[in-house]
Structure 1
Amino acid sequence: MLKREDNERLCRVGPGTPMGEVFRRYWIPALLSEELPAPDCPPVRVRLLGEDLIAFRNSDGNLGLLDAYCPHRRAPLFWARNEECGLRCVYHGWKFDTTGQCVDMPNEPSESNFKQKVRTTAYPCWEKAGMIWTYMGPADEQPPFPDYEWIRAPETHRHVSKTFESCNWLQALEGGIDTSHSSFAHNNNIADKNALRTRAPSPKLEVVKSDYGFSYVGIRDLKEDGNYVRGYQYIMPAQQMRGANIRWKDGKMEDFPSIAGHLWVPIDDATTWVWNFIYSSEPGIPFTEEFVLEHETQFGRGPEAVLAGYRLKRNPANDFLIDREVQRTKTFTGIEGINTQDFALQETMEKPFCDRSKERLGTADTAIIAARHLLLEATRVVEQGGKPKGVDPSTYRNVRGCDRLIPKDLHWSQAMKEDFAAKF
């Protein structure tokens, strides 16, 4: 159970809010590179942490992220002309460069120096791994660029996508670091009594806090077959990385050499961008197009499942196309797509975010409780002028998620020590 005031403290992300100021101490993804494909291409609307912004790639290929409204008369810069290394408002012709400086003011006298006195809000951008990142905090607190292992993995070994989720960011994050729900929400073969999720529905959780957040494992007792241990990383403020080297199909273990995860970025208090990544766990094994397509389809993000604006075809407006007969006979939810199942549960909770003062948490919620403690701590640290955990890339650059089947007489911390170490 979380006090209502603490719940508000964690869920609200606009300027000046405690959690909003925490997010503003990190580099966060703003949009995919494919959304700004070429110099002087059309600008793109962006909303992050409750702020309306406009993104553009100028004539030299440099990136800009500005206040969405011209500082002259607040006309939307979405209509602007992207030309000659600047964004020109079509209302009166004022033009801004990627730093937010006004560089031309054609409706003022030619001898006027007024343009030199006008700047609009601009946030620095950095492009890496097919993504455009931004930092929205104080300039003197700007941290080094992110250095997650999945960012360093070659393009041939990595796939990144994003999806719009109509819920508060904390609901999405907590779903991601909740390992026991997979035995239920993601049980897509209820008839298979030998399946992992059926054989061991209540994993034992162990959490180890760190300078970037924590690592934790879900240990499933498979009796004579040993323990299946899935290792996660929670990297502050909103990233989950998990082992995906093993998948269970028809009661059998198959190699699936990869590590996957999500990074949740609040759009505002009620909506979220979910950044999905998967990368090869082995430098010598690149991904194939077939592998990526199978993965995205399995998780509900295949080409036929995503609408314009990175929104899912299955959504609350159509009850996620739930099939009650499939639910009765084949799958636990009757909803297609692993992440779509998550969305169905998270998007239909209370709005704008769920009331955690009414919860009843158990031992299966150990990681969720730990994350809340860290996030509340981070809000206090930032308020006191300090740096929250996970800002320094050196704290997390060498970690990864992992999963393995290990003998029952071995402790996971020793048996999987090397599996938690980055290889890229």
Structure 2
Amino acid sequence: MLTHEQNERLVRTNRGTEMGTLLRRYWIPALLAEEIPEPDCPPVRVQLLGERLIAFRDSAGRIGLIDEFCSHRTASLFFGRNEECGLRCAYHGWKYDVDGNCVDMPSEPPESRFREKIKQTAYPCVERGGVIWTYMGPPELKPDLPELEWATLPGSQVFVSKRLQETNFMQAMEGGIDSSHVSFAHRFNMDDDPMHAGTEGLTYLKADTRPKFEVIESDGGLLIGARRNVDDEQYYWRITQWIMPWYTIIPPFGTHNPLGAHAWVPIDDETCWAWSINYHPTRDLRDDELESMRRGDGIHAKYVPGTYRTLANAANDYLIDRVAQREKRSFSGVEGIAAQDFSLQESMGPIVDRTKERLGTSDAAIILARRRLLAAAEEAAGSTDPLPGGDAEHHRVRSASVLLPKSVPFQDGAEQALVARTGEDFVSI
């Protein structure tokens, strides 16, 4: 367990905090490209790491992410007019370009040069993989652009969704690196889930609910090996890549299914965006796969119409079905893989009190991830050195599920399977 002071260091992400300083040193998934689909479309609110921002796409298609509140009288630019290569405040007409420069100030005399002194906070943005990414740290420390495999593939090979989660980002992310819960929380649903059904790996996972964990540090984060017994000679290994500061790649089931991945990005200290990605490195996603993903199946979720808030949520007890739970149609009574996860994570409260935890051997990856984040945050506070997970090479990795002889260390036996190579398929059973 952590001390109260360690927990506070881990979960507080506003500007000026230790973790906030660290996270601002990475490219951040800010919003889906579909949220600002065309030039001069309506601006949208974006909140990241406690900062309230506005995103817009100008007349030339350039993307701006600037402080939500106008520098004049602090009216929200959400109500502004997106026109003629800038966002104009609806109150007094001050207009800002994508770099935060005030380019027009109609409330001042024509000869005034006051607008030249006004600079709205603005963060650089890039669009790739259907996502708009931003960098909120010191310009001179900007890392490589994100090279996660799913962010570099053609759009026809990737599906990305996001959902609002009402917890601190850490307890959501810790669920993503916890392989042992799969045997319980999702136990009665995996046979019907399109990403698990009919795979050999699912048979091994259900047969051995007590995985043994081996966790080692990688250049970009952690390699998390969860091994299950198969027979006297072999282990079934599910190997998860955790890439700092908030990415996971899900070990695949079978070779016919797309890969899955997640990112958990703080909105503020008590909410986060949970990003879910399915992708295939060598083929387009099929129509039936896309239909399932859009419906909210698998790692995705069903929404309250017109929002990114989940249909199953705390206000309705996640639509829990006690009959389905009693009849062993659902272990938790909550429908859907994603909802089963976030319902339990949100049940811990917005920020879990980690001083009350009693961690076991299956929590080895969570323990090491916390230590690595805290160490990196301490280092980032006084260093300009590159950070783990910030280098493009750290992103070009995959997770895998493999059978290996019991005498072979998983990182050696699966070494080639853990590298993402353009045009090559992934390794799974």
Q: Given the two structures, how large is their TM-score scaled by the length of structure 2? A: 0.91
| CA deviation after TM superposition for structure 1 residue 154, in Å | 2.2
Q: Which residue of structure 1 aligns with residue 143 of structure 2?
A: 143
How far is 1:286 from its partner?
Answer: 2.5
Could you tell me how far apart the structure 2 residues matched to 1:306 and 1:203 are? 36
Shift of 1:191: 11
Aligned-residue sequence identity (percent) comes to 46
Give the corresponding residue for 2:222: 214
The code of the aligned residue for 1:372 comes to: R
- 1:155-194 alignment, distance < 5 Å: 155-188=155-188
Counterpart amino acid of residue 263 in structure 2: L
Gaps of 5+ in 2: 193-201, 423-429
- Give the direction of change, closer, same or farther, for the CA distance of 1:332–1:225 in structure 2 (3 Å limit): farther
Alpha-carbon contact 2:236-2:403 (below 8 Å) kept: yes
Aligned to 2:231: 223
The aligned counterpart of 2:250 is 242
Match of 2:300 in 1: 301
Please give the secondary structure, in 2, of the residue aligned with 1:234.
strand
2:196 — aligned with what? none
Give the aligned partner of residue 345 of structure 1: 344
Q: Deviations over 1:155-208 (max 9, x none)?
A: 22221111110110001010000010111111125999x944431111111112
Rounded Cα–Cα distance in structure 2 between residues aligned with 1:179 and 1:306: 29
- State the distance in 1 between where 2:46 and 2:390 align: 26
CA distance in 1, matches of 2:122, 2:114: 19
Aligned to 1:262: 262
After TM superposition, list the pairs within 5 Å mapping 1:331-342 onto structure 2: 331-342=330-341
Q: Quick one: distance in 2 between partners of 1:240 and 1:140? A: 27
Aligned letter for 2:413? A
Instruction: Report the Cα distance in structure 1 between the residues aligned to 2:273 and 2:288, rounded to whole angstroms.
Output: 25
Q: Does 1:288 align with 2:286?
A: yes
Mapping 1:360-375, distance limit 5 Å: 360-375=358-373
Matched residue SS, 1:240: strand
1:91, distance to aligned residue in structure 2 (A): 0.8
Counterpart of 1:252 in structure 2 is: none
> What's the offset of the Cα at 1:295?
4.8
Q: Is the 8 Å Cα contact of residues 143 and 391 (structure 1) preserved in structure 2?
A: no
Give, as a single letter, the amino acid of the residue that structure 1 aligns with 2:333.
G
1:414 offset after TM fit, Å?
A: 3.3
Distance 1:57 1:394, change over 3 A: closer
Instruction: Decide whether the 8 Å contact of 2:251 with 2:399 is kept in 1.
Output: yes
Partner amino acid for 1:334?
Answer: G
Shift of the 191–42 alpha-carbon distance from structure 1 to 2, 3 Å rule, reads: closer
Letter in 2 for 1:207: V
Q: Cα–Cα, structure 1 residues 198 and 392, in superposed 2: closer, same or farther, change >3 Å?
A: closer
State how 1:78-93 maps to structure 2 within 5 Å.
78-93=78-93
CA contact (8 A) 1:227 1:408 kept: yes
Deviation at 1:401, TM superposition (A): 0.9
C-alpha distance after superposition, 1:86-139 (max 9, x if no partner): 011111111010110101111101001001111110111111111100011111
Q: CA deviation at 1:328?
A: 1.2
Distance in 2 of aligned mates of 1:37 and 1:123 = 19
Corresponding position of 1:383: 381
The answer as to whether partners of 1:88 and 1:95 remain within 8 angstroms in 2 is yes
| C-alpha RMSD of the superposition | 2.0
Tell me the residue number matched to 2:399.
401
What is the CA distance between 1:355 and its match in structure 2?
A: 0.4
| Preserved CA contact (<8 Å) 2:159 2:293 | no
How far apart, CA to CA, are the structure 2 residues paired with 1:236 and 1:39? 33
Distance in 2 (alpha carbons) for counterparts of 1:217 and 1:414: 12
Aligned to 1:205: 213
Q: TM-score, normalised by structure 1?
A: 0.92
CA contact (8 A) 1:94 1:105 kept: yes
Match of 1:420 among 407, 418, 425: 418
Deviation by residue 1:190-237 (Cα, 9 ceiling, x = unmatched) = 999x94443111111111202211112111112369422111111111
Residues 414 and 378 of structure 1, relative CA distance in 2, 3 Å threshold: closer
Q: Residue 107 in 1 paired to residue 107 in 2?
A: yes
Partner of 1:311: 309
CA contact (8 A) 1:31 1:132 kept: yes
| Other-structure match for 2:240 | 232
How much does 1:13 deviate?
Answer: 0.7
Task: Say whether the 8 Å CA contact 2:243–2:389 is kept in structure 1.
Answer: no
Letter in structure 2 aligned against 1:235: I
Q: Which amino acid aligns with 1:299?
A: G
Mean Cα deviation higher: 412-421 or 54-63: 412-421
Tell me how far apart the structure 2 counterparts of residues 391 and 216 of structure 1 sit (CA, whole Å): 16
Separation in 1 of the partners of 2:36 and 2:86?
A: 15
Q: Which amino acid aligns with 1:201?
A: T
- Flag structure 1 segments of 5+ consecutive residues without an equivalent: 247-254
CA 1:34–1:145 in 2, change beyond 3 Å: closer, same or farther? same
Counterpart Cα distance in 2 of 1:134 and 1:293 = 29
The worse-fitting range, judged by mean Cα deviation, of 402-411 and 171-180 is 402-411
- Counting only pairs closer than 5 Å after superposition, residues 27-176 of structure 1 correspond to structure 2 as 27-176=27-176
1:363 deviates by: 0.7
State how far apart, in whole Å, the 1-side matches of 2:339 and 2:56 are: 31
Distance 2:68 2:256 in 1: 43
Output the amino acid matched with 1:360.
R
1:238/1:264 contact within 8 Å kept: yes
SS at match of 2:375: helix
The answer to whether the Cα contact below 8 Å between 1:79 and 1:89 also exists between their aligned partners in 2 is yes
